[in-house]
Structure 1
Amino acid sequence: MSAAAVDAIAPDVDAVAAGLDDQDYLADEGLLTALFLAVRLRRPLLLEGEAGVGKTEAAKALAAWLDVPLHRLQCYEGIDAGEALYEWNYQRQLLAIRLAEAGGRAIGDDDLFTREFLLPRPILQAIDHPGPRPAVLLLDEIDRADAEFEAFTFEALAEASVTIPELGTIRAAERPIVILTSNRTRDLHDALTRRCLYHWIDFPPPQRVLEIVRRRVPGTSEPLVLHAVDAVGRLRTLDLAKPPGVAELIDWVAALAALGIGRIDPETAALTWGAVIKNRDDLDAVEARGAEWLVGADA
């Protein structure tokens, strides 16, 4: 499947909507358009939004629908180039040296710095993917990495190539489809955002949330899902440090279903806070309001 074949699978936004729907990923028209352009223009797409609204899942669903490999780089403070691009397998190199010495053979750099001893990391894996299908590269939570690392990774992505001094330059046979996500823990550099397509993912409206949860936790009773959606909507009106997203809502419904709970009452809500509230200060704020407020007067 060449890039042209991928383009044929995604001739328009409606095709993207149908393809992601097949992967049980529901998105609004804005996100669908952004993903379509990322595929057709092969421009990096930066997805921002609160944690848990489906940024990472969008990349996973896109790769699954296109039936292409997904290479994910989880960013964090202190991540370096070796974890993003490549490293040399020093243990194998040392073993090769010892075996050569034991056999009375000479071994040089040309023998040690070859593909056999190369450990490709996500960016190189995506660039070096032989095709004919272009890989999807996910740079997850790029805002958690240092600004220097952010600039470094984008330079490699802009050229769709990586230069390894011992081997030369490796260029992509098919430029990867690149998705970056950010929770806005810090502002990203203009040099990055200017070169990316951009989309902000909002917490979806109640009806779409309802359908998402139904798909992700099949067999759950509709009253339970409706009640959980309403309760999370109430939680999101509070000034929480980490307001619950769709991911937390899905976890909560799954936990309630596993416990055999068909409707949320103050007692069951208090027992299952851990599935939906992930911050001590937020928990204190919710408990101060009372579980009765969360589940509504009719609970």
Structure 2
Amino acid sequence: MAVDRAHDLTSPAEVAKALDGTGYLPDDGIATAAFLAMRMRRPLLCEGEPGTGKTALAQALAGALGVELIRLQCHEGIDAAQALYDWDFPRQLLHLRTLEAASTGGLDADAAESSLYTDRFLLARPLLRALREAPCVLLVDEIDRADDEFEAFLLEVLSEYAVSIPEFGEVRAVEPPIVLLTSNRTREVHDALKRRCLYHWLEHPDQEREVAILRRRLPGLDDRLAERVGGAVRRMRELELLKPPGVAEALDWAQALQALGQDEVDTEVAASTLGAVLKYREDAERVRAAGLVP
């Protein structure tokens, strides 16, 4: 059974320590934002470039609190049914046929209909699950990919932490879930939703913190290699790349070099492993032209 430790974390420093215990290395700003979101029971909107640790923060927070992470991945065209609930029509049909077969004195239409819309046939999607299963962490990932209508619907749900299902009734969270929304800022999130949330902008980590992340996530990684990878990735981010490398790409690159038995990033090895850290040919050419690979 999940054990919610949110009430035990009484300061940003304690949140930082709890997150650190999961392998996530927060800075002071992240720890403070997460603490306030839990204390004030307000959704936290995290914006930033891809690869800055927004999704990982939700995962680490759920791990630190000992609760389930429920993830709603947003995409173009997502609607309320995909996020909230649906009815299991095949099972309802089988149930109705069973009632018809078992009925000897005629089927009561009203009773049959009411029996179709019960918990037994309700398919809870992420939002409904979060309302029913709290304490939990609800991650609404990449809200900027959804459209205006879905954003308005989400705002309504987060304002009351309740939904009304016409055939079923109201579902209200006994305890509001801890909600994190992420955005890569492909479009601006509307002011109404931002006003409902606390806000934090996540930057790429500085070199010292990134090296610490590499060492934490890749035990046995040579210290010099970690420093060279961290420095090279930081310099890449200063270029106008199509996709600047995030922490995940830095980890992939360091792991690739580690798998090759390297303790140094020389020109030949760097050139042959750039595909672990850069995902566009144009970016690789720009990095080579700038001489940023040691």
Q: What is the TM-score normalised by the length of structure 2?
A: 0.93
The amino acid across from 2:59 in the alignment is K
Aligned position for 1:86 = 85
Contact 2:6-2:65 within 8 A present in 1 as well: no
Aligned position for 2:144 = 143
Q: Find out whether 1:238 has 2:270 as its counterpart.
A: no
Q: How does 1:260-275 map to 2 (within 5 A)?
A: 260-275=261-276
Runs of 4+ in 1 over 4 A off after TM superposition: none
Alignment partners' CA distance in 2, 1:109 and 1:251: 54
For residues 239-264 of structure 1, give each alpha carbon's deviation from its aligned partner in whole angstroms, at most 9, with x where no partner exists: 11211111110111112212222222
Alignment partners' CA distance in 1, 2:77 and 2:270: 38
The amino acid across from 2:81 in the alignment is G
- Deviation at residue 279 of structure 1 after TM alignment: 2.4
Alignment partners' CA distance in 1, 2:274 and 2:257: 11
Q: Which runs of 5+ in 1 are unaligned?
A: none
For residues 33-62 of structure 1, give each alpha carbon's deviation from its aligned partner in whole angstroms, at most 9, with x where no partner exists: 110000011000000111001001111111
Mean Cα deviation higher: 276-285 or 51-60: 276-285
The amino acid across from 1:50 in the alignment is E
Contact 1:19-1:65 within 8 A present in 2 as well: yes
Q: Find out whether 1:111 has 2:115 as its counterpart.
A: yes
- Secondary structure, aligned partner of 1:128: helix
In angstroms, what is the RMSD of aligned CA positions?
1.8
Alignment partners' CA distance in 1, 2:5 and 2:174: 14
Q: What is the TM-score normalised by the length of structure 1?
A: 0.92
- Deviation at residue 100 of structure 1 after TM alignment: 2.7
**Identity value in percent:** 54
Q: Find out whether 1:102 has 2:96 as its counterpart.
A: no
Contact 2:21-2:64 within 8 A present in 1 as well: yes
- Deviation at residue 111 of structure 1 after TM alignment: 1.1
Alignment partners' CA distance in 1, 2:85 and 2:7: 33
The amino acid across from 2:220 in the alignment is G
The amino acid across from 1:12 in the alignment is S
Q: Find out whether 1:162 has 2:160 as its counterpart.
A: no
- Secondary structure, aligned partner of 2:139: strand
For residues 183-241 of structure 1, give each alpha carbon's deviation from its aligned partner in whole angstroms, at most 9, with x where no partner exists: 10000101001111000011111111111111111111111111111111121121112
Contact 1:161-1:170 within 8 A present in 2 as well: yes
Paired residues in the alignment total 289
- Deviation at residue 97 of structure 1 after TM alignment: 2.2
Alignment partners' CA distance in 1, 2:101 and 2:261: 65
Alignment partners' CA distance in 1, 2:132 and 2:153: 18
Aligned position for 2:130 = 126
- Secondary structure, aligned partner of 1:95: helix
- Deviation at residue 2 of structure 1 after TM alignment: 11
Aligned position for 2:189 = 188
Aligned position for 1:218 = 219
Contact 1:126-1:137 within 8 A present in 2 as well: yes
Sort the Cα spacing of 1:99 and 1:261 in 2 relative to 1 into closer, same or farther, 3 A: farther
Contact 1:2-1:174 within 8 A present in 2 as well: no
Alignment partners' CA distance in 2, 1:273 and 1:7: 41
Sort the Cα spacing of 1:2 and 1:43 in 2 relative to 1 into closer, same or farther, 3 A: farther
- Deviation at residue 7 of structure 1 after TM alignment: 4.4
For residues 51-76 of structure 1, give each alpha carbon's deviation from its aligned partner in whole angstroms, at most 9, with x where no partner exists: 00100111111111111111000111
Contact 1:85-1:120 within 8 A present in 2 as well: yes
Mean Cα deviation higher: 250-259 or 181-190: 250-259
- Secondary structure, aligned partner of 1:83: helix
Contact 2:74-2:143 within 8 A present in 1 as well: yes
Q: Which runs of 5+ in 2 are unaligned?
A: none
